[in-house]
Structures are given as C-alpha cells and as structure tokens.
Chains A and B, each alone.
Chain A
C-alpha cells in the first residue's frame, strides 16, 4: 500500500536535546511538507520541499531544520533552539502536477520532559 510513514508515533525530549522525526513516502510524490499542530489549533507550516536537495521555510521555521537528500524522505529535526516544541507534528506529500491534495502521515506527538 502506498502512503506516508511517520516515526516514532510518540517521542519524548529532554530540555536542550535535538530530536529527529522521520517521514518516508512511497507515493512518488514530488513535494513534502511538515506541519505543527497544537491542541485544538490549526495547522502551521514549518518547512516544505518541492524537489530533492531544495527546501523552503514555512511560517514557523525557527528552531527547526530539514533535509531532502532522497525523494522519499524528509526528516525534521527539532533543535534545542525551539523553546516550545511540545506539539503534534504532521508530514504530508503532494504530486507537483495534476490534481490532488495532500496525503498526510499519522503524526508524531513530541513531548518535552
């Protein structure tokens, strides 16, 4: 089955640590996106990539970093510079042409302990 796999489902981070969230897709989609969702809130765009080895900042990129070395993979690193990282993180992908919206992963819930 084609889809997006996010791992881990739950992640705990100590203060001052960097953590990396994994996102892999086998849909052959060109573009990939990372969103942050806080409880009861909407979706805020962190970073996106429309092609391998290229990515752009979204609305709340500070304290986050990404890489896009392979078409299938778009990992997100939450750095120690992100002061309030506790949230639900969603990865999505989309074809770069033709019809169709995003396909989302099932999310990673990150908690600072």
Chain B
C-alpha cells in the first residue's frame, strides 16, 4: 500500500523526442507527488511536483500528468535533450511524512 511503482526501468529516446515515465500508487491518502532528477555521482534534485487536486502541471519542457481515478501519474519531457540524460524518480508522501520513492528510470537521450 505504501509502494510507488515506476516504469520503465530504462528508456532511450532520440533527441527532440518525448520521454514518458509512468508511476502508479495504491494509497489514496498520498497528497504530494514530486519527481526528482539525479545525475551520476550527485544527489537527487527536485524537478517538479503536483498535488492531486490538479490534473496537469507544466514547467518548461517538463509536465506532470495526474490521473486520480486511475491512481497514476507520469512525467513527460518534451523536446528531450542530451542534457536530460539522468535517472528520474517519482515519489509520493502524505503531508510532511517521509517520501516514498519509485525504483527509478534511467533515461538516455541519443543525439
């Protein structure tokens, strides 16, 4: 019930394409859904986050789509660039409690 399931495990996208990473959850009490980006040898950094009262949030080329009824949310990276190559983690939490992370997606953008 506390898990966040993330797919795919790895993803290769051509430069300029759209990268899509999906996550699903069971606990309907989750009320905060962040995405983190991690480069090799660095700590994860908060990329974008959404709350369940909205269905979509966009920041530049990054968009979160949220489907409350399906208990799914996804990250879309438009016009993917080689600099976007990183590991992405979806996550969820209840209030200010500890954040539950997905297993991560290693994204590679081919030039």
Contacts and interface: CB of A to CB of B under 8 A. Distances in A.
Interface residues of A, number: 29
B104 A42 contact: yes
Given A97-B96, A101-B99, A41 B42 contact: no
A104 B106 CA distance: 19
Range class of the B interface residue count: 20 to 34
A56 B20 CA distance: 35
Interface of B: 32, 34, 36, 41-46, 49, 89, 91, 93, 96, 98-99, 101-104, 106
B104 A41 contact: yes
Interface of A: 4, 6, 30-31, 33, 40-43, 45, 48, 58, 88, 90, 92, 94-99, 101-107, 109
Contacts of B49: 101
Q: Which 9 A-B pairs give the minimum distances between C-beta atoms?
A: A104-B43, A101-B34, A42-B103, A43-B101, A42-B104, A101-B46, A96-B96, A106-B43, A104-B44
A94 B43 contact: no
B96 A95 contact: yes
Contacts of A41: 103-104
A31 B104 contact: no
27 contacts: A31-B98, A40-B106, A42-B101, A42-B102, A42-B104, A43-B44, A43-B101, A43-B104, A45-B98, A58-B98, A88-B41, A90-B43, A92-B43, A94-B96, A95-B96, A96-B96, A98-B96, A99-B32, A101-B32, A101-B49, A101-B93, A102-B34, A102-B46, A103-B46, A104-B43, A104-B45, A107-B42
